[in-house]
Chains A and B, each alone.
Chain A
Amino acid sequence: MNAAIANQKLPGFSFAQYLTCLNGIVWREGLRFVHQRERFVSALVRPLVWLFIFAAGFRQVLGISIIPPYETYILYEVYITPGLMAMIQLFNGMQSSLSMVYDREMGNMRTLLVSPMPRWYLLGCKLLAGTVVSIVQVYAFLLIAWFWDIEPPPIGYLAVLPALVLSGFTLGALGMLISSGIRQLENFAGVMNFVIFPMFFASSALYPLWRVQEGSPMLYYVCQFNPFTHAVELIRFALYGKMNWISLAVVAGCTAIFMIGAVLAYDPSRGLSRRGPAGGET
């Protein structure tokens, strides 16, 4: 009888079960977001401060010439809006990875990793969940920005959605990759200094690259190689119903590279096993 039980064949997972799993992970990420209201507020306040204060001051000193995708002179606020949208996603991606480090320290991550679903799928779902949360924040930001006379064409609100999904995946996967290499929560502060700020400032989020090139050719090339620059440009063009193919290719490529890296880093034989059991365990 025991042998009969032992040899019982299990059917594989159906498509509906994979969807249930995805739904569950997105639902849990959403619940967490709802419970952390201050996270939502701070996610909105950060770009709004840039828009209302920083941009108001800079519009007097920084002229923006007519550059694609814009067809006329624009205010500085209009220029930095796509950069601030990408900034929301960048911070959200890092916030998600921070919560993964926290989950790992608290033990919650084990719940996810011992699921029978394929690990790459679980991490992909986690990534999508983080992206959904970031997109909600971006649209909330766009709604407030609309009252500040940031009015992209109506089609842009729809056209930008795929770009936001892709850039959200890229930045989330980067955060996931980083979090797989961080041992303790305290070490995460370094991510702010070594990843978020350099990525944000060395990009086209705050000023056009031709301006950067005038000031420092070397920094210009750094900005060109920064995936965040391409995430910003992808969003910028999509927001005006246009496509930047180079940015699309770079962002898609980076998503694949970061995602593969994150999955490999969370592979038990290459990730957790090097660290040994958590404190107190034997």
Chain B
Amino acid sequence: MMNPEPSIADDKATGLHGAAYPDGAALAIEGVSHCYGTRKALDNVSFTVAPGSFTALLGLNGAGKSTLFSIITRLFGMQAGRIAIFNHDIGYEPGEALRCMGVVFQPRTLDLDLSVTQNLLYHAALHGISRREARVRSDEVLSRMGLADRPGSKVRDLSGGQMRRLEIARALLHGPRLLLLDEATVGLDVKARAEILGHVRGLVSEQGIGVLWATHLFDEIVSSDDLVILHRGRILAEGKVAEIVARAKARDLHSIFAQLTEIGLGSRDAAP
């Protein structure tokens, strides 16, 4: 008996190359490459983020983290490879893929002239959430992110940490199951950084949201985290932090990072 011809529906489920995405992955990235002219920013990048896990994407400035985020969120077109969010291929089902995902970009993306609530309502509208429902959800996420007392404040009047928390609240408004945060603590003081990291880790443990946390700061990563080390557009290591360190027989993450990237690190808690 002959096998039926593969259909478009099959292609959607399995991606262009025919192989199925890793079962149950919140985010599956396979063989993604990207060039700016002749400069290769990403070279055959592949890794997965499991639902309800905290995955740190560690890399120096220029490693390709933001480029990868731009591809995942469809700000950039895919040049090579494929990406699926909860089995929705971003090339074939961009709407479905984007609905499963909340994003906090490295640069601020809030409208400074609008109030906290107005920013949230605008985001909700872009996801087709009715005004009434959006108000209920806004109150919830603001309360969760410790901004319940600032709904009417102009965003311009918020501190850097509060703006970041608002961006996370906004990213959670449509109920995503995957949260991407690109250097979300850049420019914040130690206290604000700790607060934001605590909030995000709480989302993983309490709500089962999968998180991809791009950073260049070692102290934001703990040994139980999943880790992807990205350097000059290539993945150097992937797995649990403790496993990576043990496998390389290194002293700690700091040492293994220096060893893999062949750079000397002056600071104990931050890549240069």
- A residues bordering B, Cβ < 8 Å? 1-3, 5-8, 10, 12-14, 16-18, 20-21, 23-25, 27-28, 31-32, 35, 106-108, 110-118, 122, 267-270, 272-273, 276-278, 280-282
Compute how far the CA of A5 lies from the CA of B72 in the bound complex, rounded to whole angstroms.
20
Which one of A6, A23, A35, A110 has the highest number of Cβ atoms from chain B below 10 Å of its Cβ? A6
When the two chains form their complex, are residues A114 and B106 in contact, meaning their CB atoms are under 8 A apart?
no
User: A28 to chain B: which residues have CB within 8 Å?
Assistant: 111, 114, 118, 122, 125
Q: Does B164 contact A (CB under 8 A)?
A: no
Given contacts A114-B74, A273-B77, 7 further A-B contacts (CB under 8 A): A6-B25, A6-B26, A31-B114, A116-B99, A117-B128, A280-B107, A282-B63
Compute how far the CA of A126 lies from the CA of B44 in the bound complex, rounded to whole angstroms.
36
User: B61 to chain A: which residues have CB within 8 Å?
Assistant: 282
Compute how far the CA of A5 lies from the CA of B208 in the bound complex, rounded to whole angstroms.
11
Q: Which residue of B lies closest to A14 (CB)?
A: B128
User: B86 to chain A: which residues have CB within 8 Å?
Assistant: 5-8
User: B59 to chain A: which residues have CB within 8 Å?
Assistant: 282
A2-B50 CB under 8 A given contacts A13-B128, A28-B111, A272-B75: yes
Write the nearest CB–CB distance from B257 to chain A, whole angstroms.
Answer: 16
18 A–B pairs (Cβ distance < 8 Å), ordered by A:
A5-B24, A6-B24, A6-B51, A17-B128, A20-B130, A21-B126, A28-B118, A35-B113, A107-B109, A110-B73, A111-B122, A112-B126, A114-B103, A115-B127, A276-B67, A277-B67, A277-B70, A280-B107
When the two chains form their complex, are residues A269 and B77 in contact, meaning their CB atoms are under 8 A apart?
yes
When the two chains form their complex, are residues B125 and A23 in contact, meaning their CB atoms are under 8 A apart?
yes
User: B79 to chain A: which residues have CB within 8 Å?
Assistant: 273
Which residues B172-222 have CB closer than 8 A to chain A? Answer: 177, 182
One of B90-98, B144-152, B237-245 at the interface: B90-98
Write the nearest CB–CB distance from B13 to chain A, whole angstroms.
Answer: 9
User: B124 to chain A: which residues have CB within 8 Å?
Assistant: 24
Q: Does B110 contact A (CB under 8 A)?
A: yes
User: A106 to chain B: which residues have CB within 8 Å?
Assistant: 107-109, 112
When the two chains form their complex, are residues B98 and A268 in contact, meaning their CB atoms are under 8 A apart?
no
User: A31 to chain B: which residues have CB within 8 Å?
Assistant: 113-114, 118
Q: Does B80 contact A (CB under 8 A)?
A: no
Q: Which residue of B lies closest to A5 (CB)?
A: B51
When the two chains form their complex, are residues B126 and A24 in contact, meaning their CB atoms are under 8 A apart?
yes
Q: Does B123 contact A (CB under 8 A)?
A: yes
When the two chains form their complex, are residues A117 and B107 in contact, meaning their CB atoms are under 8 A apart?
no
Q: Does B64 contact A (CB under 8 A)?
A: yes
When the two chains form their complex, are residues A7 and B108 in contact, meaning their CB atoms are under 8 A apart?
no
Compute how far the CA of A21 lies from the CA of B134 in the bound complex, rounded to whole angstroms.
12
When the two chains form their complex, are residues B96 and A282 in contact, meaning their CB atoms are under 8 A apart?
no
Q: Which residue of A lies closest to B72 (CB)?
A: A114
Compute how far the CA of A237 lies from the CA of B187 in the bound complex, rounded to whole angstroms.
57
* The one of B23, B63, B129 that contacts A6, using a Cβ cutoff of 8 Å: B23
What 9 A-B pairs are tightest by C-beta distance, nearest first?
A24-B125, A269-B77, A17-B128, A2-B24, A281-B66, A115-B126, A116-B98, A107-B109, A107-B107
Q: Does B138 contact A (CB under 8 A)?
A: no
Write the nearest CB–CB distance from A177 to chain B, whole angstroms.
Answer: 19
Q: Does B33 contact A (CB under 8 A)?
A: no
Compute how far the CA of A112 lies from the CA of B96 in the bound complex, rounded to whole angstroms.
16
Q: Which residue of A lies closest to B97 (CB)?
A: A116
When the two chains form their complex, are residues A115 and B98 in contact, meaning their CB atoms are under 8 A apart?
yes
Which one of A12, A21, A268, A282 has the highest number of Cβ atoms from chain B below 10 Å of its Cβ? A282
When the two chains form their complex, are residues A268 and B74 in contact, meaning their CB atoms are under 8 A apart?
yes
When the two chains form their complex, are residues A32 and B113 in contact, meaning their CB atoms are under 8 A apart?
yes
* The one of B62, B77, B127 that contacts A270, using a Cβ cutoff of 8 Å: B77
User: B98 to chain A: which residues have CB within 8 Å?
Assistant: 114-116
Q: Does B131 contact A (CB under 8 A)?
A: yes
Compute how far the CA of A5 lies from the CA of B25 in the bound complex, rounded to whole angstroms.
9
